[in-house]
C-alpha cells in the first residue's frame, strides 16, 4: 500500500471511529490491488489465503463499511453481487454484457453531463456516473 493510500485509510478510519485492525488493513490492501471491481466473495477468497480464520461476514461487512464512509464505491451489481471499486475519483464504467467485466474510463463530457430539470427539481443529485454496456474487446472477437 502506498504512503498516500495508507494515510487515507488511517485518516478516514479515524474520522469515522473505525479501529484499524489487521483484517481491515488486509481487506483494504487487497481491494487496492484489485483491478477487476471484485465482489465481497472475490476479496474473501484472496484474503483467506493470508488470514485463514477470517470469515466471509467480516469481509462483507468491512467492504460495506468502507463504502459507507467513502473509502470505496459500490459498482452496480446489475442483479448480481455488489462489486467494489477502490477508485473513488470521478470516472465512469463500461460493462461487458457477455463476460461481466467492468472497465474504468475517463470522459470530461460525461463528468459535466447536465442533470435534467425535472430530476433536479424533484431530487438532490449527489453524484453522476455513466455506465456504458456492450461487448469488451475479448468478447467482441468471439
The number of angstroms, rounded, from the C-alpha of 119 to the middle of its chain's C-alpha atoms is 25
Q: Which residues constitute the domain of residue 36?
A: 3-85
Residues 125 and 62 in one domain: no
For the chain, the average pLDDT equals 92
Task: Verify that 99 and 80 share a domain, yes or no.
Answer: no
pLDDT digits (tens, 9 = 90+) for 53-75: 999 999 999 999 999 999 999 98
Q: Within this chain, do residues 36 and 64 fall inside the same structural domain, yes or no?
A: yes
Residue 79, classified by CB atoms within 10 Å of its CB into exposed (0-12), middle (13-18) or buried (19+), is exposed
Q: For residue range 5-49, list pLDDT tens digits in order.
A: 899 999 999 999 999 999 999 999 999 999 899 999 999 999 999
Which residues does 15 contact at the CB level (< 8 Å), separation at least 6? 69
> Structural domain tally of the chain?
2
Amino acid at each position: 500500500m502506498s504512503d498516500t493510500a495508507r494515510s487515507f485509510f488511517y485518516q478516514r478510519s479515524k474520522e469515522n471511529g473505525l479501529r484499524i485492525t489487521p483484517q481491515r488493513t488486509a481487506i483494504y490492501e487487497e481491494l487496492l490491488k484489485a483491478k477487476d471491481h471484485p465482489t465481497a466473495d472475490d476479496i474473501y477468497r484472496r484474503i483467506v489465503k493470508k488470514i485463514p480464520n477470517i470469515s466471509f461476514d467480516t469481509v462483507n461487512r468491512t467492504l460495506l463499511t468502507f463504502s459507507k464512509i467513502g473509502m470505496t464505491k459500490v459498482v452496480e451489481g446489475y442483479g448480481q453481487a455488489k462489486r467494489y471499486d477502490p477508485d473513488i475519483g470521478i470516472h465512469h464504467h463500461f460493462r461487458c454484457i457477455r463476460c461481466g467485466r467492468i472497465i474504468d474510463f475517463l470522459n470530461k463530457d460525461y463528468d459535466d453531463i447536465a442533470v435534467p430539470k425535472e430530476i433536479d427539481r424533484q431530487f438532490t443529485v449527489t453524484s453522476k456516473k455513466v455506465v456504458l454496456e456492450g461487448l469488451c474487446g475479448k468478447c467482441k472477437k468471439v
